[in-house]
Amino acid sequence: MTAVAENKPAYDGKVLDLTGKSGARAFKNTLATVLIVLAFAVAMIPLLWILFTVVSKGYHLLLSADWWSQSQRGITVRRAGGGAYHAIMGTLIMALITAVIAVPIAILGAIYLVEYGKGTRAAKVVSFMIDILTGVPSIVAALFVYAVWITVFGFNRVGFAVSLSLVLLMLPVVLRSTEEMLKLVPDELREASYALGVPKWKTILKVVVPTAFGGIITGVMLGLARVMGETAPLLILVGYSKNINLNPFNGFMGALPTMINQDRTELALPNAADRVWAAALTLILLVLALNLLARLIARFSAIKSK
Amino acid sequence: MSSPDGTAPPDRPDGTAAEEPRIEDLVHEDAGPTPRFGGLASEHAEHEAAAADAEVMTESGVEDAGTTTAPVTPTETGGKLELGPVGHLGDRLFGGLARGSGGLVVLIVAFVGIFLLALAIPALIDDKSNFLFSRIWEPGGDQPRFGIAALFYTTVISSIIAMLIAVPIAIGVALFVTYYAPKRLAAPVAHAVDLLAAVPSIIYGLWGILFFAPILRPVINGLSTALGWIPLFEKPPGDNVGVVFTASVVLAIMILPVVTAISREIFAQTPIAHREGALALGATRWEMIRLSVLPYGRSGVVSASMLGLGRALGETVAVLIILSVPNGNDPWNSSIFAGGETFASKIANNAAEFDSPEKTGAYIAAGLVLFVVTFLVNSAARIIVDRSAPGTKRPRRNRRAGAATEGASA
């Protein structure tokens, strides 16, 4: 602030110009503006570059109907043809199982934090644990499930094990966003419901949750988008299969990330490279679609704040 | 969240400890809610909940926003309001379910730690070399010898460089979105940065090694020529671009959205009185930011950087694809222009080796160390957030939740 005082123009009989700035300050201001705009430009380059690379290299395979309806059964790395049906279905099935397990726990956990445990020590412990879970790397989640599912129980590597590890990654995302949404529900709504003699649990189920529903769905979709792109659990917990396998409890399963991983060492072969980029584009489209859908829902179902 | 222990009167609705009044407290936009009837209703519900639950709830201290400002605090009420046992069974069931889910989360995290530990310990006991300080990794066999020193070094150095690159850019982007971009442009720009987080990491890896690494070659050669006398920047022979430095730059791009999102939220919360005060004193836009926005958001940015660091430490597939694994015979190289393996990439690279419990145990021990390191980094981030000034509480959530809230409240 002293700089400001020192730079106050002395009155010398001319018109007092309060808008003027000393050269150094104006220069610093311009420099900062340039740097900040530059930082933004630097951040945008990789996004546009990645999207351009994947789209331009992958789009032509996506135009054929085979890509969406065929598997890679019997297609060797040098040959063209086949599709990604097995991998798309695998990704969707594992994500669906993950959501079925994670979403109820996440929503109930958020209800506990906001409606029941608020301010208690127990809630703080739960909240801290969720923070920990948010930071658990996917490879550690996968190792944990490997330790339980395969080392301790002796089961096989199957799609369901992947879903279990993805639950650990999806749970905190959905729980936190649901918690934020429930917090946004105005207390007046709860009070009005209590005043009518509605018990607490019914108030939560019929008033609070429906009010926050759009936001909860948004959280679920963002959580799904996160787990669909995960590769590490797939590498450890299920083998890649070129055939269509829709049973998450038996046998290896294809998935888009492992389909990319399968041929990534053979990128010198044009057909393999085409497949890799097409699978990458499919995966990006899936994840981006979920993200955009989530944002649209969020926009149109926002809780009106006073 | 630091909780007042009942001795300090809470002066803010969100339960932050009372401290000497500052301008932001006095003019904060969401200054305390007016006393509401909610105090009674939720007090009743909480008494009921307390009765149903075996756990002893602390009645003193922080209640929710409604009760702290209610004219009578629960502890002072002589007799509580009796409204009759409305929906008792349903409340018990539903409340139990909700509590059970909360407990389940605690159990899951505890189990992750316990299981990893239980499976790692036998392997650690068999380990013939020093687990913490050895750079050898030869698990399995009669004489298993493995240590994490090399993995730890590569993991930490790559993540720290990533953080050093990402944080200044993230601050710039966050300032651009909050105070420089035209209003109409700000939201699309913020979403575009968030989209960076939506790109799956395996695609970062492929793009990083095939398209991005080649343009880093001049940077790598330039840096190693200029600074090669420092071991950290020494360039090993060969023309390898799958090095730690490349992985760091790609990691920086990957953690950019996390750091940006949290910094953005913090910067946007700078009290308007601080900003306008600075401007009214004749500050330029940059001076306004330096004098009001940056000091206000400092702790938030620090914790955002730590969260980004945590993300970088655990990143698996992108690092796996980019980093070239050094030959077994090569001497270990501490340079960032050499290849290497991180905890995560080592585990993923050797998933096929999990055939015997001894070998698996070694990798699980490595995973456990990674878990502990990310745990410490993330906890440090939380502690910084919790200790910091009021208003810096918001980044407690992760990036996606924050973005969702922001989208919903827009």
State whether B272 and B253 are in the same domain: yes
State whether B258 and B334 are in the same domain: yes
State whether B121 and B223 are in the same domain: no
Q: Using CB atoms, which residue from B15, B200, B286 is nearest to A119? A: B15
Q: What is the pLDDT of residue A15?
A: 54
- In angstroms, the CA A215 to CA B192 distance is 20
Q: What is the pLDDT of residue A128?
A: 87
Classified as helix, coil or strand, B146 is strand
**Residues of B with CB below 8 A from A151's CB?**
119, 357, 360
State whether B288 and B225 are in the same domain: yes
**Residues of B with CB below 8 A from A294's CB?**
404
CA nearest B404: which of A111, A252, A212? A212
Q: What is the pLDDT of residue B386?
A: 73
Q: What is the pLDDT of residue A14?
A: 55
Q: By residue range, what is the domain housing residue B102?
A: 88-126
Interface test with A, best of B97, B109, B364, B406 (most A CBs within 10 A): B109
Is the Cβ pair A215, B405 closer than 8 Å?
A: yes
Q: What is the pLDDT of residue B293?
A: 93
State whether B196 and B101 are in the same domain: no
- In angstroms, the CA A65 to CA A150 distance is 38
Q: Using CB atoms, which residue from B101, B195, B371 is nearest to A140? A: B371
Fold of A85-300: MetI-like fold (1.10.3720)
Q: What is the pLDDT of residue A23?
A: 80
Q: What is the pLDDT of residue B280?
A: 92
Q: How confident is the model at residue A7 (pLDDT cuts 50, 70, 90)?
A: low
- In angstroms, the CA B376 to CA B263 distance is 21
- CA B87 to chain A, closest CA, distance in angstroms equals 5
Q: Could you tell me which residues come within 8 angstroms of residue B367 by beta carbon, excluding any fewer than 6 positions away?
A: A139, A140, A143, A144, B116, B120, B343, B347
Structure-token pair, residue A242: 């070129």
DSSP lists the bridge partners of residue B145 as: B138
Alpha-carbon separation of residue A12 from A3, A20, B41 (angstroms): 20, 15, 68
Mean pLDDT computed over every residue of chain A: 87
State whether B156 and B271 are in the same domain: yes
State whether B112 and B65 are in the same domain: no
Q: What is the pLDDT of residue B7?
A: 41
Q: Which helix (H) or strand (E) holds B145?
A: strand B145-146
**Residues of B with CB below 8 A from A113's CB?**
102
Find the distance separating the first CA and the last CA of chain B, reported in whole Å.
26
Average pLDDT over residues A56-85: 87
Q: What is the pLDDT of residue B305?
A: 92
Alpha helices for B230-316 (secondary structure H): 244-268, 272-280, 285-288, 294-314
pLDDT digits (tens, 9 = 90+) for A133-154: 888 899 999 999 998 888 888 8
Q: What is the number of residues in chain B?
A: 410
Helices (H) then strands (E): counts for chain A:
14, 0
Q: What is the pLDDT of residue B129?
A: 81
Structure-token pair, residue A256: 């888009």
- In angstroms, the CA B319 to CA A58 distance is 23
Question: Would you give the DSSP letter of residue B356?
Answer: S
Model ipTM value: 0.85
**Residues of B with CB below 8 A from A182's CB?**
none
Residues of chain B with pLDDT under 50: 1-78, 84-86, 389-410
| Higher-pLDDT residue of A192, B403 | A192
Q: Could you tell me which residues come within 8 angstroms of residue A238 by beta carbon, excluding any fewer than 6 positions away?
A: A157, A158, A159, A161, A162, A252, A253, A255, A258
Name the domain count of chain B.
3
CA nearest B236: which of B223, B224, B218, B222? B224
**Residues of A with CB below 8 A from B265's CB?**
none
Residue of B nearest to A2 (CA): B281
- In angstroms, the CA B320 to CA B205 distance is 8
Q: Is residue B382 in some structural domain?
A: yes
pLDDT digits (tens, 9 = 90+) for A231-264: 999 998 988 888 888 888 988 999 999 999 988 8
Structure-token pair, residue A1: 């602030």
State whether B156 and B252 are in the same domain: yes
State whether B388 and B376 are in the same domain: yes
Q: Is residue B136 in some structural domain?
A: no
Classified as helix, coil or strand, B216 is helix
Average pLDDT over residues A1-23: 55
Q: What is the pLDDT of residue A73?
A: 87
Q: What is the pLDDT of residue B88?
A: 72
CA nearest B318: which of B252, B396, B221, B397? B252
Q: What is the pLDDT of residue A209?
A: 92
